[in-house]
Amino acid sequence: MPASFRRQAARLRASYTRETPSLAAPGISRHSHNAPAPGSGLGLDVCTAAQRRLRALLSLGMFNHGPTSLWPRHVSLADITRYTLVVSPRYDDLVITARAPYNVTCWLVGRDRLPHIGLPGLRVESSHADGWRLRHLPTGATMTVSADRHGHLQGPADPGSNYSRLWTSEIPVSDEEHTTLNALPHLTADTEHLLAALTVRLCTHAPDHSWDIGTWFNDLTDRPDRGHAHHRRLSVEDNQCTLHWDSDPHPEDLHAALTDPVIGLTGAIGHPTRSGWLLHYGRTCLTAHPLAYRP
């Protein structure tokens, strides 16, 4: 893709994702001969199979929280969404910039004293002065968590910065982690794409402020909060995904993020139902219920 088109596409993507243009640019495909067309998602959903799997697992963790959660861990990854952060997906990496990168990393990666925290199999590959390079051992996919708003990791790797003994890539996946991952539902490729789309749109908003995801924790459009319990339940059975939540974002905002003509998931089609909305993507459908799950 010509550099001028990539810059234009990066600025457009950044207007939706809260990335800086320089942070967004590596996520724009270098292999297209033309600027990404509206409806392309601007690179948010173009990634390796390993990245797609990692993002789908993060989705199951972040969107299960509270007493009816289906996430089989003692501590929910949903706490990541309490922090001020920006998600920047790339073809072979998932970059998170945050004001408190260490706090975010501590929710993502287990450690000696708190082995139940974090995504099973996610490890610190290298520590830097202002961030961490992470690797998910079961898939080989990488993540980057950085305080730098452009997503850079400053300086050489610093072993001394891992002061809470976060598990590193030298520590193999434990039997408990294998059991946890094996207990998760089978995910088809279409289902992984859809769940991954939820993860990478965690911070998206409309440039005209008509909708805003607000990291699933805050409404940033001056509308009344939907609640403060922040209970979430994301279940998957075959090609059917069901999502309940009782706080922000507003249901129409989440629908807009997935179907927006510029930043939406290409091929996703949604329509309203009595209790929310239904979205189809390939052979997978997502039923969204913007209210707490009742067993």
φ/ψ (deg, to 5) at 86: -130, 135
Average pLDDT rounded to a whole number, residues 88-97: 97
End-to-end distance of the chain based on CA atoms, in angstroms? Answer: 51
pLDDT tens for 10-61 read 999 999 999 999 999 999 965 444 444 445 679 999 999 999 999 999 999 9
Average pLDDT taken over every residue of the chain: 89
**Pairwise CA distance, residues 51 & 193, whole Å:** 10
Using an 8 Å Cβ cutoff, are 263 and 230 in contact? no
**Pairwise CA distance, residues 8 & 109, whole Å:** 36
Strand-strand pairing, 93-98 and 142-146: parallel
Average pLDDT rounded to a whole number, residues 216-225: 78
**Pairwise CA distance, residues 65 & 76, whole Å:** 6
Residue 74 pLDDT grade (very low, low, confident, very high; cuts 50, 70, 90): low
- Report pTM: 0.93
Q: What percent of the chain has pLDDT over 70?
A: 91
pLDDT at 154 (0 to 100): 82
**Pairwise CA distance, residues 106 & 96, whole Å:** 13
Using an 8 Å Cβ cutoff, are 225 and 71 in contact? no
Dihedral, CA of residue 48, residue 29, residue 83 and residue 98, to nearest 10: 110
Average pLDDT rounded to a whole number, residues 245-257: 94
Sheet with strand 93-98: strands edge to edge: 85-90, 93-98, 142-146, 131-136, 122-128
